[in-house]
Structure 1
Amino acid sequence: MQKQSTETLEPAEQQAAAKKMMLILMIGMLAPLFDTTITNVAIDTLVREFSTSVSTIQWVMTSYLLALGMVIPITGWAVERFGGKPMWLFSLGMFLFGSVLCSLAWNVESLIFFRTIQGIGGGLLMPIMQTLGVRAFRGQNMGKMMATVGLPALLGPILGPVLGGLIINHLNWKWIFLVNIPICIVAIIMAWKGLPNEKRGTRTLRLDLLGLMLLSPAIVLIIYGLGEVSSTRGFGHAAVLVPVLAGLALLAVFVVYAIRKENEALLDVRLFRVRSLAVSSILLFLSGLTTYGAMLLLPLYFQQVRGESVLISGLLLVPQGIGMLLTRSLAGKLTDRIGSRPVVLAGTMLTLLGTWPFTQLGADTSYYFLSAALIVRGAGLGAVFLPVMASAYIGLSSQQIPHASSTTRIMQQIGGAFGAAVIAIILQNEYNSVMSHDPASVAVAFDHAFIWSIAFSALALITAAALPRIKR
């Protein structure tokens, strides 16, 4: 029996159907989120298994991100052209196929290629999930909906490093990718049976090929260039400047082209005239400076200064994820009740408060103290992401939602790449400036890097004041 579209249900039934849909989509998102964190902690293991260098293995992560950047711009068109359910099943299938191929890789070159197939599936999943969720809830209870959407993103950082540590310590490297298979299979079965079939209408929308040839390479070049920062140790190196500037140039050409193309453009850049989406996009970019930057700093501190293993480092990061879970539901409810601005401002202040102790790090700082700080920091991050995402869709029509989902995802990815690149350079410069490389001196380098992270959070605090005052 075909599932009835949520558009034809009564309000109470529609809310129940929307919640069921979000649960199904949430299961599907677990695989790519776990995969990202597990692969990140497995770099040293892959270096040994393939007898290669860290710079080469880094392409296992970079190829995934580049493929992801390539497909995000077509998400809005694909959902409108083929429908949300078919595209969700296709994306899960591609991610499953890529995972199987990765586990069968016979050398590092084949692994890098197979990761691009994974990236195609992974890049489509999050914006499709956001599009289907916003449509299912019909713009109501956006805070609660985003709390559901954001749950997999919270579980990934909590369970991913721990699961990755267990796999690395006790199983073959192939299980880094094989662990995705059962999750994907369950998610595909649930989606096939449980997701509603949308009204097909007349999906004759043509793909904007010229826009695709401008926007996708622009995103890829920017992400690639920023990814080269850590290996070249500076933004002024040609390996960084050439791709980033080329990407920015293509992006500028696309913006001019899209404005003239209007409704037929791959991405509707006119949406940035909507204040809520424009401010939310800036905040999502800035969140990359704080969230992804800290994701780089925290495990490095535990491993380089405190000498902890990958597994222990992952366990020490769990308090931040717990803090995010603690505020997830409350942030969603408050966003629906009082609007996003006060929730984001309070969450940013909590993030600043929880990050400050890490500017005072030493070689023997109490783990109890750091765990308490991570809980506070996580609580702040959990209270920021959800209302910002909810604000992005205020005042948008059903046809504009896929474009908004792609836009927010692009801003997150570029912001994350930029944040990791900036923090990597800051840490490297601070590390080079210390007189000796004993744990106490290295800890000072981390202190200074976290001060920069606080400065970026302060920028987000200023921007958050521009969010809409009233609730949806």
Structure 2
Amino acid sequence: MSGAVAPAAVSGATASSARPRARPSFWSSEVIPVDQLTTREKVLAFATMCLGMFIALLDIQIVSASLRDIGGGLSAGADDTTWVQTAYLIAEIIVIPLSGWLASVFSTRWLFSISALGFTLTSLLCALAWNIQSMIAFRALQGFLGGSMIPMVFTTAFMYFSGKQRVVAASTIGAIASLAPTLGPVVGGWITDLLSWPWLFYINLVPGLVVTVVVPLMVRVDKPDLSLLRGADYLSMVLLAVFLGCLEYTLEEGPRWNWFGDATIVATAWIAGLTGIAFIARSLSAARPIVDLRALKERSFALGCLFSFVTGIGIFATIYLTPLFLGRVRGYGALDIGLAVFSTGVFQVMSIPLYAFLASRFDLRWILTAGLVLFAVSMWDFAPITHDWGARELLLPQALRGMGQQLCVPPVVTLALGALPPARLKLASGLFNLMRNLGGAIGIAACATILNDRTNLHFLRLAEHLDARNAGLDGLMASVPGASAGFGEASTATLRQLWSLTYREALTMTFSDAFLIVMACFLVALIFVPMLRKVTPPPAPSADAH
């Protein structure tokens, strides 16, 4: 950003002349110029906002491995319990594109702090929920407040840092954006097994309060402008909320209710389509849109949104598929699932220094290419999956996925947002983050549909060969304890066991199909990398400029 100054440029007389300035009072809305902040102050402010972003993203998936325990504790059925996660996702996806406008109205400082406080309080309410209805309501509020924190971290990082420091900041944000959802099932399963499900929410209290207190003290990058409330495009807000809410509901519930065979899904799909078209038309014609769709005219930003969408598919679809395989095929519990998928996070963290090293020496487009290739290769390595795969067999593909995530997401952040002027960052950042979540929602919905449809197809194909003419099958059934000597004399119990074995193999083959389709998405994305423009971080202004 043109107003961002690298700490290295603020030294000597400049630094000493800037520091005597009295810090504004807590309630003052005065902005502190970036060049008057030390590196320590900027890092502390940025790290605190990253903490808020991390707990908000972690809570997307932290309940996924513990829904059965939550349902049991609240005496709820499986259909109702799924809304513990769905409610959070719907609320979060609605508020993310609105966060830029909200930050302009209330300032980044106060919106982030109020959101963190609300997120903390709703986390406490979730832990104290007395029935499934109260839990769903509190989770929706938690998602709405948590989602508003995410895009602000992106814009603040680009305001605070430039040059090599921006590379490190983008790497940190990228790691959090992909690592937090990955760790969700791991952390959730471990906490539920060790303590109990309410502690999934109690763990947010301390970090939430820290963020609530520190952000107002340290983050002063803009002023509130309450005048924006007058004449704001409230109709666009309603259209956007209805569009994204109905779209997320359709994607979440569609696979479970056979898509357009269900009247409610048909209705929400139509509403999403019509309100989406109306929102786009109004946003492109409004003088002050709440979401900057015009930023898509910038080629690098548009392509960055595409890559954000694809990485969202990869991150969230594999988070969905791997624990589901371990639970349904291997019969793992929450803790065992968490331990089995933990290697992804380990290798991603180990790749952070590698990315920082590469980003300071090579074109980010080459690094993005390497990340996309690694992710595609990891999906290819998942494809030979068999019913007896566990943590050992999953280690290599998950290691490649962890490295691929770290080499994919940070370059996209820099290439997409680094091409925009500071004035457009707030509104565009919400759109950029929305694309990642939409990619995740569509990826999960597509994988769920694949599992429903392809499992039946594979089962029927396998069943075609299970008859008296199959000599190998006759021998297998004879070896089953309690079975009759031949296929023709098989007991009901034996046939039931044969059905279970056939279904297990069909389901395993379907997981392989799903991983290959995710791989195809990344291979298609590779085609668009050469179309990206190289983004050179703006140079830090000289001391004389201030």
Q: Aligning the two structures, in what range does the TM-score lie when normalised by the shorter sequence?
A: over 0.9
Q: Does 1:198 align with 2:221?
A: yes
Cα separation, partners in 2 of 1:373 and 1:33, compared to 1, 3 Å: same
Q: State the 1:223 CA deviation.
A: 0.9
Asked whether the 8 Å contact 2:56–2:146 carries over to 1, the reply is yes
Cα separation, partners in 2 of 1:137 and 1:5, compared to 1, 3 Å: farther
Q: State the 1:5 CA deviation.
A: 5.0
For 1:280, the equivalent position in structure 2 comes to 304
The 5 Å alignment of 1:247-262 reads: 247-262=272-287
Cα separation, partners in 2 of 1:405 and 1:446, compared to 1, 3 Å: same
Cα separation, partners in 2 of 1:333 and 1:99, compared to 1, 3 Å: same
Q: State the 1:274 CA deviation.
A: 0.5
Cα separation, partners in 2 of 1:464 and 1:240, compared to 1, 3 Å: farther
For 1:129, the equivalent position in structure 2 comes to 153
For 1:461, the equivalent position in structure 2 comes to 526
Q: State the 1:17 CA deviation.
A: 3.7
Asked whether the 8 Å contact 2:301–2:417 carries over to 1, the reply is yes
For 1:42, the equivalent position in structure 2 comes to 66
**Cα deviation code 1:314-334 (max 9, x no counterpart):** 111111112222323433453
Separation in 2 of the partners of 1:71 and 1:51? 30
**Cα deviation code 1:371-401 (max 9, x no counterpart):** 0221012101211011111111133122200
TM-score by length of 2: 0.80
Q: Does 1:293 align with 2:317?
A: yes
For 2:233, the equivalent position in structure 1 comes to 208
Cα separation, partners in 2 of 1:454 and 1:101, compared to 1, 3 Å: same
The DSSP-based 3-state class of the residue aligned with 2:76 is: coil
Q: CA RMSD in A?
A: 2.3
Q: State the 1:31 CA deviation.
A: 2.2
Q: State the 1:192 CA deviation.
A: 3.5
For 2:188, the equivalent position in structure 1 comes to 164
Q: Which residue type is aligned with residue 468 of structure 1?
A: R
**Cα deviation code 1:128-148 (max 9, x no counterpart):** 111211222258744321112
Q: State the 1:196 CA deviation.
A: 3.1
Cα separation, partners in 2 of 1:168 and 1:318, compared to 1, 3 Å: same
Q: State the 1:189 CA deviation.
A: 2.6
**Cα deviation code 1:142-176 (max 9, x no counterpart):** 43211122343355246433332232223233222
Asked whether the 8 Å contact 1:142–1:332 carries over to 2, the reply is no
Q: Which residue type is aligned with residue 356 of structure 1?
A: W
For 2:35, the equivalent position in structure 1 comes to 9
The 5 Å alignment of 1:138-149 reads: 141-149=165-173
Asked whether the 8 Å contact 1:22–1:149 carries over to 2, the reply is no
Separation in 2 of the partners of 1:469 and 1:197? 30
**Cα deviation code 1:220-276 (max 9, x no counterpart):** 1111111112211346644334323322321222222122113x1111211000011
The DSSP-based 3-state class of the residue aligned with 2:531 is: coil
| More helix per residue | 1
Q: Which residue type is aligned with residue 205 of structure 1?
A: L
- The counterpart of 2:345, out of the listed 299, 307, 321, is 321
For 2:436, the equivalent position in structure 1 comes to 412
Q: Structure 1 stretch 233-242 or stretch 49-58: which is displaced more?
A: 233-242
**Cα deviation code 1:393-413 (max 9, x no counterpart):** 133122200011110121112
The DSSP-based 3-state class of the residue aligned with 1:39 is: coil
Separation in 2 of the partners of 1:8 and 1:47? 48
- The counterpart of 2:249, out of the listed 215, 220, 224, is 224
Separation in 1 of the partners of 2:376 and 2:88? 31
TM-score by length of 1: 0.92
The 5 Å alignment of 1:48-197 reads: 48-137=72-161, 141-157=165-181, 159-193=183-217, 195-197=218-220
The DSSP-based 3-state class of the residue aligned with 1:265 is: coil
Q: Which residue type is aligned with residue 200 of structure 1?
A: K
**Unaligned ranges ≥5, structure 1:** none
The 5 Å alignment of 1:303-318 reads: 303-318=327-342
Q: State the 1:87 CA deviation.
A: 0.8
Q: Structure 1 stretch 330-339 or stretch 445-454: which is displaced more?
A: 330-339
Separation in 1 of the partners of 2:359 and 2:263? 44
**Unaligned ranges ≥5, structure 2:** 1-22, 464-498, 538-546
Structure 1 runs of 4+ off > 6 angstroms?
none
**Cα deviation code 1:342-392 (max 9, x no counterpart):** 111111111111121211011224643320221012101211011111111
Separation in 1 of the partners of 2:508 and 2:240? 41
Separation in 1 of the partners of 2:434 and 2:222? 28
Asked whether the 8 Å contact 1:161–1:315 carries over to 2, the reply is no
Q: Structure 1 stretch 433-442 or stretch 19-28: which is displaced more?
A: 433-442
The DSSP-based 3-state class of the residue aligned with 2:221 is: coil
For 2:418, the equivalent position in structure 1 comes to 394
The 5 Å alignment of 1:305-454 reads: 305-335=329-359, 337-365=361-389, 367-433=391-457, 434=459, 435=463, 436-438=499-501, 439-454=504-519
Cα separation, partners in 2 of 1:356 and 1:204, compared to 1, 3 Å: same
The DSSP-based 3-state class of the residue aligned with 1:426 is: helix
The DSSP-based 3-state class of the residue aligned with 1:40 is: coil
Q: Structure 1 stretch 325-334 or stretch 207-216: which is displaced more?
A: 325-334
Q: Which residue type is aligned with residue 223 of structure 1?
A: E
Cα separation, partners in 2 of 1:150 and 1:469, compared to 1, 3 Å: closer
Asked whether the 8 Å contact 1:144–1:332 carries over to 2, the reply is yes
Separation in 1 of the partners of 2:364 and 2:431? 19
Q: State the 1:68 CA deviation.
A: 1.4
Separation in 2 of the partners of 1:53 and 1:253? 37
Separation in 1 of the partners of 2:34 and 2:370? 38
Q: State the 1:2 CA deviation.
A: 3.7
Q: Which residue type is aligned with residue 131 of structure 2?
A: N
